[in-house]
Amino acid sequence: MEKKYIPLNFLPLGMKGKVKVLTAGGSIRRRLLDLGLVSDTEVEALQKSPSGDPVAYHIRGAVIALRSEEASKIWIEAI
Amino acid sequence: MGLTSQSSGSSVLQSEPKIIHNIPDKKVIALAGNPNVGKSTVFNSLTGLNQHTGNWPGKTVTSAQGQYKHKDRNFTLVDIPGTYSLMANSVEEEVARDFICFGNPDATVIVTDATCMERNLNLVLQTLEITANVVVCVNLLDEAKRKKININLNELSRQLGVPVIGTSARSGEGLNELMDAVHELTSKRKTYSPFRINYTYVIEQAITLVEPSVKELIGNTLNSRWVTLKLLEGDKALLRALHKYLKYDLTEKFTITKKLNEAYNILREANIDNDQFRDTIVSDIVGMAANIFSTTITFENQKYNQLDRKIDSILTSKTFGRPIMIGLLGIVFWLTITGANTPSEIIFNCLFWIEDRLSDFFMWAGTPSWVHGILVMGIYRTLAWVVSVMLPPMAIFFPLFTLLEDSGYLPRIAFNLDNYFKKAYAHGKQALTMCMGFGCNAAGIIGCRIIDSPRERLIATITNNFVPCNGRFPTLIAIITMFFAGIAAGPFQSLLSALLLTGIVILGVVLTLLISKMLSKTILKGLPSSFTLELPPYRKPQIGRVIVRSIFDRTLFVLGRAVLVAAPAGLVIWILANIHLGNLSLLSHTANFLNPFAHLIGLDGHILMAFILGFPANEIVVPIIIMSYMATGNILELDSLDQLRQLLVSHNWTWLTAVCVMLFLLMHWPCGTTCLTIRKETQSWKWTLVSFLLPTITGVVICFVVANTVRLLGFA
């Protein structure tokens, strides 16, 4: 069975997904990993800022805002 | 750290604290933790030092240290920067890690947020990798209780293998037990065997291969397993720090390089490259944290943060987010202006009544008139002005601002404004440093350390001066009240003043964005770096404490600084006004000299001179203007803002002069302390000069355009 992954910034508000692949490199990758965004971590899209970007996500018990640039480098599987 | 006597003023210029070890009976304790977990509250409660804590990430911008005594033993507590990780992705993380690792603390207390343990355990595990001398403090238990989160502290302690103490630092609960645990740990009566992270098999193999040779060289000074891990990872910043600490380069030792190469071969065979290595390590740690979390913490209410989400959905919503932000700003200003009016007048009358009595006394004592002139007309009068103009607005503005800060609203401002900053190619956290600038620009500039990218940090540093600090607020308020609020009647007066002040602040923010963009396109070219911002849970601010703290810590301190600067300035003004060269006083000579240029930008020579003399502290600009007018004019008695207005008008002030003074106040060189802070933070006179010139040139240009357009159109 083939599963489709989408970038995190495509996750609709209120929906959850599981982190599958990080395409970011270097320091951004380290930052994202430090936030706990390792494989299979559950992420929920919570709230858009007034201009639509950044978006706040629920990640491992914390609320973290990410710009679309970063979120687009986190590929998830919607659940 | 917010605006305290340690974070603003000259003390920010002192070099990093030196911690003295090896005093028998004195133990050094490092206080670590994620940002925004109440670390500073723990620090304050233990040491009694008034260090301010706010509810937003990255408050501790310089390491503060304080002393406390427990059971006849002395402890030095070092507050290290709050970080999420010790992987050294930023300057702060590097500072934190280096202190835990090379600072040889006798114990490290890790403060964690009970409502967000999974994330916090990451740092706990990373610290346990470096040292076993750890006490975990699970703080904010009261908040956890409110959210119905149960934490099995005993089980957590059993799993981590180190003492775990639950606290609610704000109410002081559990702090005694925390001190007991630290005391016991540093007495070394008990040995602990902390949790060990077991990595993926191949990585363990590599560690086992290299560790013996590392241990042979470094002995027991550092944790050899951890050093080995970092060697394998090739963490350059750490290797540099290690080199400095050991005074030799481990990677140049033959035995080490030989083993490392063997280990790299093993890793390569398993297809683990450098990136993969790091990924695996982090994943393993995060996995362990999740595991410990799930076995020690239970939620009675799965929707424990529902309320926070509801508040967020209003405060950061598309429709209301920005209006609420501006509205709150306006309300804070309105309360400040309305509330400050009467007390200002009372203080004013009191201080000038005292001035008259002082004059009487000098007359009675028969002292020479120049003594009376210097002491009363020079020093005392300037001081009286500074106190009566500044104290009331500050005593209202600071607590209000602190309430917003403590509640957790400021990160939401950064969240709301981020898109603008992104468009200016700057960092969203610049909104936070900007907010800090409202209190004190020097503190705001130190706050810029929360921005990782050097380019964006410089932009935030250079533009910080575009938000008016508390030294400039009262002056703005005074000018607005005198020249503009008069058009409206009754209660609308203060409303109009608040609106105008809000407008000025918004202008400052717009300029910040424009100049940031301009810098990004010219001398600081580059693209926006990565941005991650934590939106911490909202917390109920402790109103009583906030008021007491912000008055004693911020208000009185900032006032004290202003008074210190105002006294000599008053002296200088008096001397300048009373030494004559030819027919004119030195003051008039200087003012006349500055006048042609000052006139071009809508000011006059006296005003410009006041700005120059106000370099040590912006607070004294208006008092100097008054002093220098009084010294040349004929009105000698002033006992209300209205008479002050008359004094200014008699020196040809029009509404245009008032506008230009306010604009120039918003945009001119940073004060002396701020300049020195910029020099210290950027380590460069060049960037200090840029930070000095940029707002000045902007101010001159804008004032020039405004003044001459209005004059050409014949409005003033």
DSSP readout, B640-674? SHHHHHHHHHHTT--HHHHHHHHHHHHSSPPPHHH
- Which of B415, B455, B513 is best to mutate for the A interface (most A CBs within 10 A)? B415
Percentage of chain A modeled with pLDDT above 70? 96
**Nearest CB to B422 within list A28, A62, A67:** A67
Expressed as residue numbers, the domain containing A48 is: 6-78
**Contact call for B118 and A36, based on CB within 8 A:** yes
In angstroms, the CA B626 to CA B644 distance is 8
Q: Which distant-in-sequence residues (6+ apart) come within 8 Å of B524 by Cβ?
A: B455, B458, B459
Is B322 touching A (CB cutoff 8 A)? yes
- Strand ranges, E, within B229-313: 297-299
Residue A21 belongs to some domain of the structure: yes
The whole-angstrom distance between A75's CA and the closest CA on chain B is: 16
**CA nearest to B324 within chain A:** A50
Q: Which residues of B touch A25 (CB under 8 A)?
A: 275
**Contact call for B119 and A60, based on CB within 8 A:** yes
Residue A63 belongs to some domain of the structure: yes
Residue A29 belongs to some domain of the structure: yes
**Contact call for A65 and B534, based on CB within 8 A:** yes
Residues of A with CB under 8 A from a CB of B: 24-25, 27-36, 38-39, 41, 46-54, 56, 59-67, 69-70
Best CA proximity match to B404, nearest among B312, B506, B538, B308: B538
Q: What is the CATH number of the domain that holds A23?
A: 2.30.30.90
**Contact call for B116 and A48, based on CB within 8 A:** no
The whole-angstrom distance between B441's CA and the closest CA on chain A is: 26
**Contact call for B416 and A31, based on CB within 8 A:** no
Indicate the helix (H) or strand (E) that contains B358: helix B321-365
Is B530 touching A (CB cutoff 8 A)? yes
The whole-angstrom distance between B536's CA and the closest CA on chain A is: 7
Residues 223-282 (B) with a CB less than 8 A from some CB of A? 275, 278-279, 282
Lookup: tokens for B41: 């509250």
**CA distances from residue B664 to B382, B426, B476, B597, B598 in whole angstroms, order as listed:** 21, 25, 11, 14, 11
pLDDT at B488: 65
**Nearest CB to A38 within list B117, B286, B537:** B286
Cβ contact B429:B71 at 8 Å: no
Whole-model pTM? 0.83
Is B686 touching A (CB cutoff 8 A)? no
Lookup: tokens for B340: 């400050």
In angstroms, the CA B241 to CA B230 distance is 12
pLDDT at B274: 81
Q: Which residues of A touch B276 (CB under 8 A)?
A: none
pLDDT at B78: 86
Q: Which residues of B touch A70 (CB under 8 A)?
A: 530-532
**Contact call for A63 and B534, based on CB within 8 A:** yes
Residue A57 belongs to some domain of the structure: yes
Q: Which residues of B touch A47 (CB under 8 A)?
A: 309, 312-313, 316
Which residues lie across from A18 on neighbouring strands? A42, A77
Q: What is the mean pLDDT of each run of 10 residues along chain B (716 residues)?
A: 41 44 71 86 77 48 72 86 79 82 90 91 92 93 90 94 92 92 85 82 92 88 89 85 86 87 91 85 91 92 84 91 91 86 84 89 88 84 80 83 84 92 90 85 82 88 91 85 74 83 93 94 83 85 76 73 78 84 86 94 93 84 82 58 83 92 94 86 92 95 95 83
In angstroms, the CA B227 to CA B665 distance is 53
pLDDT at B640: 66
Residues 441-460 (B) with a CB less than 8 A from some CB of A? 452
**What's the complex ipTM?**
0.94
Residue A1 belongs to some domain of the structure: no
Instruction: Tell me the count of A-B CB pairs closer than 8 A.
Output: 126
Q: Is the pLDDT of residue A2 over 60?
A: no
Q: How many domains does chain A have?
A: 1
- Which of B305, B316, B530, B534 is best to mutate for the A interface (most A CBs within 10 A)? B530
- Which of B85, B286, B299 is best to mutate for the A interface (most A CBs within 10 A)? B286
Query: Hey, what amino acid is at B214?
Result: V
**Contact call for B321 and A49, based on CB within 8 A:** yes
pLDDT at B639: 61
**Nearest CB to B89 within list A34, A47, A59:** A34
Mean pLDDT of chain A: 89
Q: Which distant-in-sequence residues (6+ apart) come within 8 Å of B487 by Cβ?
A: B496
pLDDT at B495: 84
pLDDT at B333: 86
Is B519 touching A (CB cutoff 8 A)? no
Cβ contact B645:B625 at 8 Å: no
The whole-angstrom distance between B134's CA and the closest CA on chain A is: 21
**Contact call for B309 and A47, based on CB within 8 A:** yes
Query: Hey, what amino acid is at B615?
Result: F
- Which of A40, A59, A63 is best to mutate for the B interface (most B CBs within 10 A)? A63
**Contact call for B415 and A48, based on CB within 8 A:** no
Q: Which residues of A touch B287 (CB under 8 A)?
A: 38
pLDDT at B4: 43
pLDDT at B711: 92
**Contact call for A54 and B531, based on CB within 8 A:** yes
**Nearest CB to A61 within list B118, B278, B415:** B118
Is B84 touching A (CB cutoff 8 A)? yes
